[in-house]
Homo-oligomer: A and B are copies of this chain.
């Protein structure tokens, strides 16, 4: 079954709101194994809406429309769909009663007359009661095509979809779609792809897709099958093969686990505490760790040592190191990591020093140069990076690399 989404509303076209309904409905359809090839946003305009709905009904089995069901003259979705599909509009006594019920005991002395518009439905449509608003949802079927009309506000749309539309679609959808995430850090999208190219090229079911994120790559394996179990069975060998090929580059296979969550999970597993010593990332590594619920078990404190003075005072970086090699140097990174452990009695420390820009770069030490050091089991590992992009981008990448180096140090030393 193929479906497509049409969101109706000038607010979306003006960028006043973001189209979260499209994401929600797309996710739900993906879960049901319904393929969506198009999503459209169109304004409250009769001709443009007609053109859009006609095109959608031509090329897809089901068209899900959101918005434009309200009481005002602008609201045209129902009227346009009825016109195109050849339905007559009639008053639905049940919906009229629900609207009366909705107003009863409310703040209005009388029901504004334009509200009755919401009791008008296409004759023969399935009416879906809306418990969180006045406009009901509608399912219109004709000649093998279906239009599903839903109210725009997410707090009306979501329960209506979940309780009434999802089961309706599921009954008509023979196959399920399941997917498995594999998250990778420390390499680029093209590198991942070149390692998996034969798998990707040969893909049919399951499919393999790669997505580039800042400092990481997500790989999604998706299978279609008559049952959930069969879909999982199809994915299993592919996921295993990808994990084998990528090895320690894989930091998680959970949809919701971020890199910092994976780090905190490992720290917890090996009962380690960590401290942070940050210069150019200015507290962001600590900030990411602390954002993980339960981080307090493994993270007690961190240092933001932006000035040389602070590096000396709190991390015991020696004056001669700073003078001879500078604040942005492997030597300083090394001493920051060591100093962080000794100052706090932690098991490990990750230290970051670099030039985030836009100023402060030189030919020898250009903007984007970052040293990251990890201290673990009396050993310090220092890595040098040359990041591209603006200040924010340099820092984002440095944070990701710092977390990843920490992760790998744990694996190297404790696994």
A→B interface (CB under 8 Å) = 10-20, 22-30, 36-43, 45, 48, 52, 55, 70-72, 74, 102, 104-108, 112, 114-115, 131-133, 153, 155, 159, 186-191, 193-194, 209-214, 220, 222, 276, 278, 280-287, 289-291, 293-296, 299-307, 309-310, 314, 344, 357-359, 385-386, 388-393, 395-396
Which residues on the B side are within 8 Å of A386 (C-beta)?
A: 104-106
Copies in the complex: 2
Complex Cα gap A38–B115 (Å): 28
* A310 interface neighbour in B186, B344, B392, Cβ under 8 Å: B344
Residue pair B112, A191 in contact (C-beta under 8 Å) = yes
Residue pair B301, A304 in contact (C-beta under 8 Å) = yes
* A284 interface neighbour in B19, B133, B287, B295, Cβ under 8 Å: B287
Which residues on the B side are within 8 Å of A106 (C-beta)?
A: 385-386, 388
Which residues on the B side are within 8 Å of A27 (C-beta)?
A: 14-16
Complex Cα gap A296–B359 (Å): 11
* A306 interface neighbour in B25, B284, B301, Cβ under 8 Å: B301
Q: Nearest chain B CB to A309's CB is how many angstroms away?
A: 7
Residue pair A22, B28 in contact (C-beta under 8 Å) = no
Q: Nearest chain B CB to A2's CB is how many angstroms away?
A: 11
**Contact status of A282 and B291, CB under 8 A, knowing A114-B190, A304-B276:** yes
Ordered by A's residue number, 25 sampled pairs between the chains whose C-beta atoms are within 8 Å are A12-B23, A12-B26, A13-B36, A14-B30, A14-B36, A16-B209, A16-B220, A19-B19, A19-B23, A37-B42, A38-B52, A40-B40, A70-B189, A71-B190, A106-B385, A106-B388, A155-B389, A282-B286, A282-B287, A283-B284, A283-B287, A293-B359, A299-B306, A300-B306, A300-B310
Q: Is the interface of A mostly helix, strand, loop or mixed?
A: mixed
Residue pair A39, B12 in contact (C-beta under 8 Å) = yes
Q: Nearest chain B CB to A363's CB is how many angstroms away?
A: 13
Residue pair A214, B155 in contact (C-beta under 8 Å) = yes
Which residues on the B side are within 8 Å of A305 (C-beta)?
A: 301
Residue pair B307, A296 in contact (C-beta under 8 Å) = yes
Residue pair A194, B114 in contact (C-beta under 8 Å) = yes
Beyond the given A13-B39, A283-B286, A294-B359, could you list 8 further A-B residue pairs with CB under 8 A, ordered by the A residue number? A15-B22, A71-B189, A106-B385, A153-B212, A278-B283, A290-B395, A296-B307, A303-B303
The 6 closest A-B pairs by CB, nearest first: A282-B290, A283-B283, A15-B26, A15-B27, A283-B286, A301-B310
**Contact status of A24 and B15, CB under 8 A, knowing A37-B43, A291-B282, A304-B286:** yes
Residue pair A20, B18 in contact (C-beta under 8 Å) = yes
Q: A5 — nearest CB in chain B belongs to which residue?
A: B41
Q: Nearest chain B CB to A322's CB is how many angstroms away?
A: 14
Complex Cα gap A71–B194 (Å): 11
Which residues on the B side are within 8 Å of A55 (C-beta)?
A: 55
